[in-house]
Chains A and B, each alone.
Chain A
């Protein structure tokens, strides 16, 4: 398992999501478990070099997607029952993870962009493969009215 490193401070991370959703988001540090990951987005620099990934377990992915446009909780429950995100939750999650590029400290000094979001068990494998030796941190998040999930951030050295 990669070493834990403070890529982003816990409080800053909660504030980031609170600002994005307009809903209170509590965040606490969590242990990283790549096995539960069901969605992962890759971030590349201007040379196309992979610089980081952000990944979520399914509850987190569904809740982030729903909270963005305040979709009713029933849609989250449906996705959790189905074991996969509905199209609108997946679309919203991609937008959340696109904006989350700003969690990487280097985005202020150089251009970083989100590329594809991989879903399902493939996301777990992808994350494990691509973050070997990277700095990784995880957070338990609790979104007002939506509930809890785990999000993991990995930062690769250039």
Chain B
């Protein structure tokens, strides 16, 4: 599978990549983007299978990106990995077509739990 990791923090992109491996999701191809605009371009060009996306980012935030992805009918699974944890935020994500919301900080176990249904 092709996984696109979207986060404006280089550190977090590194941590997501590392935790994916620790959670048993090794052997997949990963790519990175640092904001929604860059991510949208990579989704159109590289057609990833899964997008793992931060919420608060410059240029275009995560929920705006999700809206554009669903509007363009890209058939990609989309999950948020974010410090946002309010019920309101989670509901908004799901209403807009997110497959899951994983709150930071996450562990290999919590990532595995969130991603297993998506990878199935």
Contacts and interface: CB of A to CB of B under 8 A. Distances in A.
A102 B87 contact: no
Interface residues of A, number: 22
Interface in A77-120: 91-92, 95, 98-99, 101-102, 107-114
Interface in B12-31: 12, 14-15, 19, 22
Interface string B97-111: 000000111110000
B106 A19 contact: yes
A7 interface: no
B96 interface: no
A114 B22 CA distance: 28
Contacts of B56: 98, 113
Contact of B105 (A69, A99, A111): A99
A21 to B, nearest CB: 8
A91 B105 contact: no
Contacts of B49: none
B87 A111 contact: no
A68 interface: yes
Given A16-B105, A19-B105, A19-B106, A102 B85 contact: yes
A75 interface: no
A111 B89 contact: yes
A98 B12 CA distance: 11
Contacts of A112: 86
A91 B86 contact: no
A107 B104 CA distance: 13
Contacts of B14: 69
Contacts of A108: 85-87
Contacts of B104: 20, 99, 102
Interface of B: 9-12, 14-15, 19, 22, 56, 83-89, 103-107
Given A98-B9, A109-B86, 14 more contacts: A17-B105, A20-B104, A22-B22, A99-B104, A102-B83, A102-B104, A102-B105, A107-B86, A108-B85, A108-B87, A110-B88, A111-B86, A113-B56, A114-B83
Interface of A: 16-17, 19-20, 22, 68-69, 91-92, 95, 98-99, 101-102, 107-114
5 contacts: A69-B15, A98-B83, A110-B88, A111-B84, A113-B56
